[in-house]
Structure 1
Amino acid sequence: MPAVQDIRAALPDAQIDWVVERGFAPLVQRCDGVGRVIPCEIRRWRKSPFAAVTRAEWGAFKAQLRQEAYDAVIDLQGLTKSALVARLARLGPGGKRYALANQTEGSGYEAPTRWVADVAIRIAPHTPAVQRSRELAARALGYALPPVLSFGLKVPSAQAEPAQAAIKTIAKTIAFVHGTSRVDKEWPLAHWIELGRRLMAAGYQIALPHGNAKELATSQAIAQVLNEGGITVWPLLSLDELTDELAHCAGVIGVDSGVSHIAVALDLPHVQIYNFDTAWRTGPPQGAQGKQLSVFAQPTPGVDAVWQAWLACSAGLADPVASA
């Protein structure tokens, strides 16, 4: 998303289309400046490549992808599947395909991305994920990076009705993003409970989202132990609905996960918890002016460290933090 906003600032007349896995299409549709959103389901298609439904959907995807002739096709992922998409996209006269020439630290990279490219661009290995995409797009299209980072993620107004009637999100609500696909990224249940006690004593309410049965059980366990008003276990929400509800919160505290990164894109006060020293690569980008911080320790950060980070992130908020 920041790469899209950079392109818009440098080339206001550019038409920008985006190929994305269908599950993430609702987020891309909210990105300012994106024209066509072209959904694909490569993860699913490769599980049954010869099935009739796969062949039909693949054909429809290719037809949609090739409707436009592009002056530039930029592969920001650096994977075989993204290289395939780049190769299938149709170029206009003088058009070129751009891709990464090398792997950066901690990221996935597969050689076909540079084989397909007309221009392969080398990025310094120790480059954060967001910065890598911004630099690749800027060097492909020949502009200097703007000084301000923006995600351009559109959200509903504060007066909009909640996506689910069961949710009553108010300005003093903090969302706990405890769910992650990796067990080694989790934060201990006892830590979430203690942090919840501190926040509730400071006047906050706690929202507990989930994405699957395991995460629901964790949300319910936190709510059961705290056992007070002001704790809400959210129903299962689509990515679109979840983004809306997060946008109405006072802030988010979470582990390294996709939902935490949505909080960064929404520019919410946010603490991101790391058990590994990878926050430099995927944590809140530099320049967030203290509003978004990462906390790293091994085997895991303590409650005091996360609490102090939250106080720093939320220092600009009105009560209740000022009285904490």
Structure 2
Amino acid sequence: MNADWTGCKNILCIRPDNMGDVLMSSPAFRALKETFDCKITLLTSPAGAVIARLIPAVDEVITCHLPWVSHPAADDSITQLISILTSKNFDGAVVFTVYSQNPLPSAMIAYLAGIPNRLAWCRENPYHLLDCWMPDPEPYQLIRHQVKRDLDLVAAIGAYTADDHLALATDKNRWPAVAGRLTQMGLDLGKPWIIIHPGVSEEKREYPFYHWIVTGQNLIKELNTQLIITGSFEESQQAEKLRSFIGKSAFSVAGTLDLEELSLLISHAPLVISVNTITSHLAAAMGCPIVVLYALTNPQHLPWRASGIALTYPVTAVLRSRNEIVRQVGHWMPQIFMVSPDEILAAAKEILTRGFHGAVPELVPLQK
């Protein structure tokens, strides 16, 4: 690796994935910005762009449906995108990936846009597509948390930060309006309340609906608490159905909060109980304790630097990834059973009534 990044002042970060992926890459964005005192532009998906605007290190966002990333559509013009990138005169591009992703399509875009310095982890020899090639040791030699993977990547060009936590810039002045809407729904903010988040973007990470009903009813009965059910607009009908089954003291705000409002809600919550989706990473960023129901899709995306408890459960065989690298790692996952509502209740009690302050582990333990 011969490239010198010391003079780079206009860096493109490529992370065309979901919100949680972008948030986990944010400490690496911070490292680049602090080290090179540069402008950071993020090329990401429309979903990723929603959270990118709350990440302090990101100065500009470019959105595109790239055809090699899972999205509902992939109809943006790659030729037009390359023209846009060329016009911005970037002097460096960093491609961020999960170990099961191939970075070369994104590297090709940066190459065609004439960006002189291009950095990525890559299993294959990229030849001229990457002038800063970092041979990828994952997952066969080691597995790191995604945040560590991204920080190790930018460390290869001398970029570091003293603060590797997730963080979002939210407007605290918006909280009274959110609190007012909760009060109008009937929630008593003067009494105990917690958040539950059942919705997932992928079916394989779903926790059974019936278990959510029992969990909600147990939490209200045993902890004398109110429940706020969160979710996206697409998840609002399911959230309302769950609310109706749980009954009194449950309230759904699914589809009514934007991302910043949801982050503020989480920042005021004593506990979040969530599947492994963006809400679990928001809890980590906002410093809220969490019980994360973690489907074993991969071992490296647990909430980073979070306080709380992780309860893992298996993915149904028919829903497991067809990516061979992911499947190989799946063989190393522990053999476990579905998490029960009683286990969730016990974890919530541990945090709320016993003052548990332990940390969510960085990785799911593997057994090769």
Same fold judged by TM-score > 0.5?
Answer: yes
Quickly say closer, same or farther: Cα 1:32–1:221, change in 2 above 3 A: same
The answer (yes or no) to whether the contact 1:185–1:274 under 8 Å persists in 2 is: yes
Tell me, in whole angstroms, the C-alpha distance in 2 between the residues paired with 1:118 and 1:24: 27
Cα deviation for residue 37 of structure 1 reads 1.6
Structure 1 residue 134 and structure 2 residue 151: aligned? yes
Tell me, in whole angstroms, the C-alpha distance in 2 between the residues paired with 1:46 and 1:80: 22
Count the aligned residue pairs.
Answer: 292
Cα deviation for residue 206 of structure 1 reads 1.2
Cα deviation for residue 84 of structure 1 reads 3.5
Query: Of residues 278, 298, 302 in structure 1, which corresponds to 2:340?
Result: 302
What residue number does 1:273 align with?
293
Structure 1 residue 208 and structure 2 residue 229: aligned? yes
What residue number does 1:320 align with?
none
Residues 143-201 of structure 1 deviation map (CA, whole Å, 9 limit, x = unaligned): 4563x422231122166344697544748432222111333322222322232234324
Cα deviation for residue 24 of structure 1 reads 2.1
What residue number does 1:105 align with?
none
Task: Read off the aligned partner of 1:281 and give its amino acid letter.
Answer: Q
Task: Read off the aligned partner of 2:106 and give its amino acid letter.
Answer: S
Backbone CA RMSD of aligned residues: 3.4
Residues 262-310 of structure 1 deviation map (CA, whole Å, 9 limit, x = unaligned): 33233321121124273x411123x43xx13321143311223223333
Cα deviation for residue 121 of structure 1 reads 0.8
Q: For structure 2, which runs of at least 5 residues remain unmatched after alignment?
A: 1-25, 314-335, 357-368
What residue number does 1:254 align with?
274
Structure 1 residue 188 and structure 2 residue 208: aligned? yes
Task: Read off the aligned partner of 2:150 and give its amino acid letter.
Answer: S
Tell me, in whole angstroms, the C-alpha distance in 2 between the residues paired with 1:308 and 1:113: 50
Quickly say closer, same or farther: Cα 1:251–1:38, change in 2 above 3 A: same
Tell me, in whole angstroms, the C-alpha distance in 2 between the residues paired with 1:65 and 1:84: 12
Cα deviation for residue 203 of structure 1 reads 3.8
Structure 1 residue 21 and structure 2 residue 45: aligned? yes
The answer (yes or no) to whether the contact 1:275–1:299 under 8 Å persists in 2 is: no
Task: Read off the aligned partner of 2:30 and give its amino acid letter.
Answer: Q
What residue number does 2:135 align with?
122
The answer (yes or no) to whether the contact 1:22–1:41 under 8 Å persists in 2 is: yes
The answer (yes or no) to whether the contact 1:295–1:301 under 8 Å persists in 2 is: yes
Quickly say closer, same or farther: Cα 1:258–1:87, change in 2 above 3 A: farther
Task: Read off the aligned partner of 2:54 and give its amino acid letter.
Answer: R
Quickly say closer, same or farther: Cα 1:173–1:3, change in 2 above 3 A: farther
Structure 1 residue 150 and structure 2 residue 165: aligned? yes
Give the alignment of 1:54-69 within 5 angstroms.
54-55=76-77, 59=80, 61-69=81-89
The answer (yes or no) to whether the contact 1:191–1:303 under 8 Å persists in 2 is: yes
Tell me, in whole angstroms, the C-alpha distance in 2 between the residues paired with 1:241 and 1:153: 12
Identity %: 20
Cα deviation for residue 97 of structure 1 reads 0.6
The answer (yes or no) to whether the contact 1:123–1:132 under 8 Å persists in 2 is: no
TM-score (norm 1): 0.75
